[in-house]
A and B are shown apart, each in its own frame.
Chain A
Amino acid sequence: MTASEVHLPVSIPELLELLKRNPQLLLFAGGTGILREKGSRFIDLPPSIALLDNVAELRTVTRTERYVELGSGLRLSEILSFKQGTIAPILREAIAGIANPVIRNLATLGGNLACRERFMDSWSALACLDALLEIREPSGSHWMNVNRLIGETGKPALPPVMVISRIRVPVDSWPFILVRKLGQAGWPGDDTWTFAALAKIDKGYLVDLRLAMGGRCGLRFPELDSRLEGSSLPLGTKEVVALVADYREAAWELDPDAALPFSRMADLALGKLR
């Protein structure tokens, strides 16, 4: 039982300075991800912790015509309480499916994205939306597409020392959305996946299609998504069957256990457009 030093930074520069001095610093927001799979009475924590509650910049909301920027320290329940139209419906639906209301009163969007072991529930919705993450590192900052969180093996690949400060979520209108959770109802496990799909339809033609699934790996195949773009609706059975088979193959390459759920969900999404 080691004692931990708890820092209370009030700004991102201060937080980055702490990170620079101590790359092992544990960033603690809602804490639900950190306490995940720790059922013992006492929690052994790393020697240095930064509690993010007082960093005001992490709790801001900015809206433009094209996107909304959400501070990563916003609690999930706060995001759900935004009035209709503030955030993309697919993100709202994905967040509403996370855990239970009392966990959502603690957990933050940044924490949900910063999990290094798996892709949590909000990722697949944000991946479909091509949301951007503002990554702040001691050496500088940059914006990064959430899809780039998928590492070579399909596992999350976050920069080692960084802060996700904002999430830029496009606000375009998508007439077709689908979010489904698969697997057990408890804490996410190996068989738990969150699937999300978006489609845009114009004058009876499919003009944009995006499918993503997150779990122990992240699955997003833009080159397959684009194959049926320009097709008239309803989609033909033959094309759909062929595309589902290709999604299955692509998912199998990444994680054989993901192939069946991904292809079923692709079938469901495309079936609704059929």
Chain B
Amino acid sequence: MHEGLAWPQNGADSAIALSDIVMDGLVNVAHVRAPAPHGRIRALKSPTLPSGYLMITAKDIPGAQFLPGLDSKIPLLASGTFCWKGEPVALIVGPDPNIVAELAATASVEWEELPALLDGSGSPSSSVVARRSFSLGDVDEACNQATTLLEDTWRSSTLEHWYSEPQGAIAWSTQGRVIVRTATQWPSHVRECVAAALGADLARIRVIPTLLGVHLDGKIWYPSMLACHAALASRAAGKPARVLFTREEDFLYSPKGARVIISSRAALDSQGRLSAIDARITLDIGAGVAFARAMLVEAGTAMIGAWNCPNLRIEAVAVTTNTPPAGAFAGLGAAHAFFAAGALATRLAEAIDEDPISWMSDQVLSRGMAHPSGEALRVELPVRSIGGRVAAASDFRRRHASYELLRKRGTAAGIQKGIGYAFAFQSDGIFASDDPGDNYSMEAVLDKDLKLSIASTCAPPDGGISSLWRGEAARILSLPLEDIIIIPPDTDLAPPSGPGIRSRSISVSGRLVTRVCQAIRKRRFRDPLPIPAKASARVERGLTWTETGMQGSPFMNAAWAAAVVEVEINSFTGETRPTGLWLCIDGGHILSTEKAAKSLRAASLDALWASAGEEVMFESGGVLHSGYYSYSHGTRKSLVPVAIEFIDPDRATPPRGIGELPFHCIPAAFLSAASQALGAPITSLPLHTEAKLRARSEP
């Protein structure tokens, strides 16, 4: 057996990393890449290839030329034209990783330039690939009548996922089948793509995921692409083939977290009530990604929020540009709008000298009121309770008032302090019309030795989730933990499932664990062992937003969070130091508050540091190379105290996804805190040193 096929029993904690797999005769794959953002390929000149080396182009693909199952048309290898600088045009395959890299760099693409769109902010109609719009009441009239009207343009920049391991895949053939190993959030999609690329039956493809680690949704679909490249290379070379990016290569050429621009107008009436929100969201997805429509719907829904606002006009567009693919980042789009929606709410409250937490709680929909979709709320939203708790824990009101006073007095020499608040929700049930991959399955067997095995390709992303599944199964079936085995998400051993996104390994698969175990418990003393059980679920649709309309509620099974962030900004140096972070979560039943708190603490710091300083920069349409060296995903040199409180975590409701909540509410709270510290509205993430220096009055 190859070393890479070993899989530990009982959880994925020690599963092998892709880069650790060693195989005899392995060949390596390097990419020949497009030299410019947009062009027509006239010729592709292969370098002189030593014996044992070969080149693969699009015409060598026996099956489908495009990745299936996605809502963008993404070619495996560009042919005819290329659409972004760095797009794979050909593969160089051979035994030495250094030589294939050198050969790929010397291959030349003869091309003629085509007009390139590098910035989606103008969103010309030809570049709009998806659109969602919604309107309610009369926004223009409400703005005309407004006593307070704020207009802003909000921006968040392109982000690097910086997952635990750079992207890659290994493929080889054995006994008429193709085996693929890759770190993926979506094993079923890898299988589907490799089968399509090779023109082979699904049954001929087996995908055995490797250790995934932290992914921040950067490994949803791109591993499928690289798996196809590895499979094509293996087929051509007749040997196991490996694509393994260096971190630098990954930074330059893998999909990024999309940048967004939101133009907003918001109005308050004479009573200080929110009377209108008018927003245009432009999501720049680069050369195209998976789930663009889902991202658009999540972003639009976040912008609509939970406000009791009679006049709304939301237009959300996804635009393609000739820049690297850019899409999900710690969620499918909600974070891309919550940062602006939350900070905007604080701006509105402060414009009328209201306490932000109280004002926001007063503006939220109450039980019985209708969401803009028309669906009436059946329960009270927990905004007031989480806001109240986090305000008390952080002493928000006193601090907010005193920092305001200090700033107005102008006594804060050098160090300026600010504190900000925001709330947000995470909902699993928000859908575009045709989201792929929302079907999840699980199989379990209680065998004759009273050992339970559970299999699903919606992989538990880490040992923590795996142990939660085992704990739940142990509780229901009264089995010792060591007798519960989580089968690896191998496509031969587990039924196909949708991607491991939106905390679905808890919110959907967690419920499936409960269902299969309950099914076995019912039959346990009635039927002979072994007892198998299967369960599958489509994700429950809460809100569906198609091109023609919106139905349902986004709050079904939603988890809620409120955050307070406190920052110090040295206005001389621009140094930004978060000094406190408080989070209050209402996430239904929390399977393990200890594990949840640890995971939320790490995610909170990632969200905070991304807001404070992470940004992928571009040059001539491609990722700025030197940016790799200056990109820092959070310094660990200062500890930020993070306090997390859960509301009633033991209550008997199904567990909900909470993992993305820090990314939904912390950036907005951070923006508000930074704005207070600098005494000027900050509307762009991340905070740039120059902006901070300029925000201070001239000496």
Contacts and interface: CB of A to CB of B under 8 A. Distances in A.
A188 B630 contact: yes
B630 A42 contact: no
Given A1-B102, A185-B613, A244-B699, A39 B248 contact: yes
Contacts of B689: 182-184, 191, 261
A267 interface: yes
Contacts of B694: 260
A191 B689 CA distance: 9
A268 B415 CA distance: 11
B525 interface: no
A127 B379 CA distance: 67
Interface string A31-62: 00000110111100000000000000000000
A264 B247 contact: no
Interface string B80-104: 0000000000000000011101100
A244 B699 CA distance: 8
B414 interface: yes
Interface centre among B98, B102, B573, by most chain A C-beta atoms within 10 angstroms, is B573
A101 to B, nearest CB: 10
Contacts of A182: 573-575, 689
Contacts of A165: none
B690 A267 contact: no
A184 B688 CA distance: 9
Interface residues of A, number: 33
A41 B629 contact: no
A224 to B, nearest CB: 15
Contacts of A265: 572-573
Given A39-B248, A41-B98, A183-B689, A192 B572 contact: no
A241 interface: yes
Contact of B414 (A181, A245, A263, A271): A271
Interface centre among B97, B627, B628, B689, by most chain A C-beta atoms within 10 angstroms, is B689
B693 interface: yes
B410 to A, nearest CB: 13
Interface centre among A40, A190, A240, A271, by most chain B C-beta atoms within 10 angstroms, is A40
B98 A39 contact: no
A180 interface: yes
Given A1-B98, A264-B572, A41 B246 contact: yes
A189 interface: yes
Interface string B131-157: 000000000000000000000000000
Interface in A233-269: 240-241, 244-245, 260-261, 263-265, 267-268
A186 interface: yes
B599 interface: no
B692 to A, nearest CB: 10
Contact of B572 (A40, A185, A189, A267): A267
Interface in B631-682: 631-632, 635
A261 B98 contact: no
Contacts of B632: 184-186
Contacts of B385: none
A271 B570 CA distance: 13
23 contacts: A1-B98, A39-B246, A40-B246, A41-B97, A41-B101, A42-B98, A180-B573, A183-B689, A184-B630, A184-B632, A185-B613, A185-B632, A186-B632, A187-B630, A191-B689, A192-B630, A195-B573, A240-B699, A260-B690, A260-B694, A264-B571, A264-B572, A264-B696
B1 interface: no
A263 to B, nearest CB: 7
B626 interface: yes
Contacts of B414: 268, 271
Interface residues on B, range: 20 to 34
Interface in B236-272: 246-248
A185 B686 CA distance: 14
Contacts of A267: 572, 699
B22 interface: no
Per CB-CB distance, the 4 closest pairs between chain A and chain B, nearest first, are: A39-B248, A268-B572, A189-B630, A187-B629
Contacts of B575: 180, 182
Contacts of B97: 41
A143 B456 CA distance: 71
Contacts of A181: 573
Contact of B248 (A40, A263, A268): A40
Nearest to A187: B629
B690 A185 contact: no
Interface string B443-467: 0000000000000000000000000
A189 B626 contact: yes
A245 B574 CA distance: 19
A39 B101 contact: no
A42 B413 CA distance: 49
A263 B693 CA distance: 10
Interface in A132-191: 180-191
A190 B613 CA distance: 15
A268 B101 CA distance: 49
B610 to A, nearest CB: 13
A37 B98 contact: no
Given A182-B573, A182-B574, A40 B101 contact: yes
A185 B413 CA distance: 24
A136 to B, nearest CB: 31
A104 to B, nearest CB: 13
Interface in B506-543: none
Contact of A37 (B99, B413, B626): B626
Contacts of A191: 689-690
Nearest to B624: A189
A251 to B, nearest CB: 13
B148 to A, nearest CB: 34
Contact of A271 (B413, B574, B630, B631): B413
B629 A189 contact: yes
Interface centre among A41, A184, A190, by most chain B C-beta atoms within 10 angstroms, is A184
Interface string B91-120: 000000111011000000000000000000
Nearest to B105: A40
Nearest to B630: A189
B632 to A, nearest CB: 4
